[in-house]
Structure 1
Amino acid sequence: MDEYFDSILSAISHSLSFVLLATEKYQLTVGDVLIVPVYVIVSFIIIRWVAGFIARRLTAHKVKPDIIHLVKRLFYIVAIIVVVLTTLTMLNIPLTAFAFVSGAVAIGVGFGAQNIINNFISGWILMWERPIRINDFLEIDKVAKGKVESINTRSTRIRRVDGVHMLIPNSKLLENTVVNWTLVDNRIRTSVKVGVAYGSDVKLVAALIEQAVKQQPHVLSEPLPVVIFDDFGDNSLVFEVYFWVSATMERDLRVIRSEVRFNIDSLFNDNNVVIAFPQRDVHVDGTIQLSRDK
């Protein structure tokens, strides 16, 4: 029985050592070809598990999402380079064999994939310098507004305020003007304007507007709200109040401004302050006589 198993093992070993490709210094056997796919698959499973473990540990320590994203990207690149080099070593393929091929590929890439390389490098700049981070609220070209969900090597995914996802090339975020509403913090200044009828007590109006703003819980107490008597309008006395809020989305700002307007309307009604509306006064000269044609 032992001799039978020994003969089987010997046959397997002989089969695995069969040379498929040989040169003066290197040779490729069946065993090399079979073990490489298993090694690559197991390696990528381990890499994904380790990357997930690192992300969970950093999340548990309350590390910012963009830092976690950058660490995972760096880990993936280093791990993949190690797997590729190890695979080439297992196959007995020297790195010098790729010198000419890599030079030709570099020339082809330089002419045919300039935009891809530009976006790739821009993506790493965004992740390293962090002018734009995950969960930041951006305004691009004064048209698109949205929250950053992920920064990838080629493009950045943004969810607009209307729920639509946008994929923006990374180079565009570096080469064009981008307004980052939350670059330093989430504090944003906004304002609400209202016009009251002529003859209103302007001191009372200013006090009521300030009270309406302070009643809104999302308005920050520091800096204090500022009420401005803005103008003597054609049909109203115009007031505008400036205040700071903590918000990360345009929708939040609109909701907060709406609540402030509700408060203003309620306080004005309680204090008999009239919100003005467009009107025209027509004065008829009494000296004009209307004659009837005979």
Structure 2
Amino acid sequence: MLDFLNNTAFTLGDKQVITWLQVVYSFTFVVVSWFVSRLMAFLIVRKLLSKTRISQDSKAIIQRIIFFSMVVLVILSVLTYLGIPLATFAFISGAVAIGFGFGAKTIIENFLSGWILMSEKPIRMGDVIEMDGYLGVIIEIGNRSTQIRRNDGAQIIVPNSQVLESKLINWTLNDPYIRTSVRVGVAYGSDVELVKDQLMRVVTDHHLVQDDPGPVVVFEDFGDNSLVFDAFFWISVKSGKEPRLVRSEIRCAIEQAFNNHNIVVAYPQRDVHVNFTDPSQLSKMKKNEKP
């Protein structure tokens, strides 16, 4: 076995001989160093930077830089051990780059997009975003793709290039607060001031509604069948409850408050005219009509 490993695997030029034993050592060193580099990068970020105020995105960037720096050092060490000069690859670097570029265009595009997302930070881990009509939370921004956990519990993986090029809403880019509203229509003849007071009280009493900026109640319009009021208020998307659930709770409270103060929630009204004329009598009337 040792005799076989000492045989020549390939030669570089006339003097440089690479044996199978050197190949085995180099391959083992690369594999072990790959896992050790990942572990070292993780431990450095977790142990040394855990007590700092650096954001999770910045820690992820530092971890990647440390990992890839170690990988480069490992490759250079292997080339030095094998006695292969970097100039050896100069004559094939152009062809390899062109072939690799065409064959891995999508991979490179997603990889570069991931670094752009991590450096420019249009989205960050933990951000609440809206994409393709779905609300979700950014779990991880990887080298190739971004993981998003939607509000229905599903986890989707989106290529980084698609995230970078798509039009998405980041609800927590600057702050976690969003404005939403509840609309209600009351019957004509209702006490307008009483309606506004009750709406303001209900919205203000909800524990998730922000005090600054505070809620606003607007007499929006004279509708076809009702007096239309809008209650605008701010909530945090990181409160652990979806905005539509908050609106539902406020609507239930409004219904209860209106019932307590005899305020009628309007509903569409239509006048229906029914003709009770007997068809036989209608035919006789037509016959008796003078020409």
Distance 1:59 1:276, change over 3 A: farther
Equivalent positions of 1:157-236 (< 5 A) are 157-236=147-226
**Whole-Å separation in 2 of the counterparts to 1:130 and 1:201:** 50
Q: Contact (CA 8 Å) 2:208, 2:239: kept in 1 or not?
A: no
Show the counterpart of 2:29. Answer: 39
Q: Residue in 2 aligned with 1:61?
A: 52
What is the correspondence of 1:1-294 to structure 2 with a 5 Å cutoff? Answer: 21-22=10-11, 23-29=13-19, 31-57=21-47, 58-141=49-132, 143-248=133-238, 252-281=242-271, 293=281
CA displacement 1:62-96 (0-9 Å, x = unmatched)? 53222222222222211111111111111111212
- Post-superposition Cα deviations, 1:83-122, rounded to whole Å, max 9, x if no partner, equal 1111111111121222233211211133333332222211
Relative to structure 2, which stretch is displaced further, 187-196 or 73-82?
A: 73-82
Distance in 1 (CA, whole Å) between partners of 2:94 and 2:163 is: 31
Give the letter aligned to residue 272 of structure 1: N
How many angstroms apart in 2 are the aligned matches of 1:171 and 1:290? Answer: 71
Q: Does the C-alpha gap of structure 1 residues 248 and 167 become closer, same or farther in structure 2, counting only changes over 3 Å? A: same
- Evaluate the alpha carbon distance shift between residue 250 and residue 109 of structure 1 in structure 2; reply closer, same or farther with a 3 A threshold: farther
Segments of structure 2 that go 5 or more residues without pairing to the other structure are: 285-291
Counterpart of 1:132 in 2: which secondary structure?
A: coil
Tell me, yes or no, if the aligned pair for 1:20 and 1:30 is still in contact at 8 Å: yes
Contact 1:156 1:167 in 2 (8 A): yes
Cα offset, 1:221, TM superposition: 0.1
Look up the equivalent residue of 1:185 and give its one-letter code: D
The unaligned stretches of length 5 or more in structure 1 are 1-11
**Aligned-CA RMSD value:** 2.9
1:6 matched residue in structure 2: none
Aligned counterparts of 1:91 and 1:289: Cα–Cα separation in 2: 105
TM-score (norm: length of structure 1): 0.83
Structure 1 residues 18 and 117: CA distance shift in structure 2, 3 A: closer
TM-score (structure 2 length as normaliser): 0.84
Q: How many residues in Structure 1 have an aligned counterpart in Structure 2?
A: 278
Asked if the contact 1:124/1:153 (under 8 Å) is kept, the reply is yes
* Secondary structure of 1:195's aligned partner: strand
Q: CA deviation at 1:54?
A: 2.5
Please list the CA deviations of residues 226-264 of structure 1 after superposition, one character each: whole Å capped at 9, or x if unmatched. Answer: 101111111111111111111148952112111211221
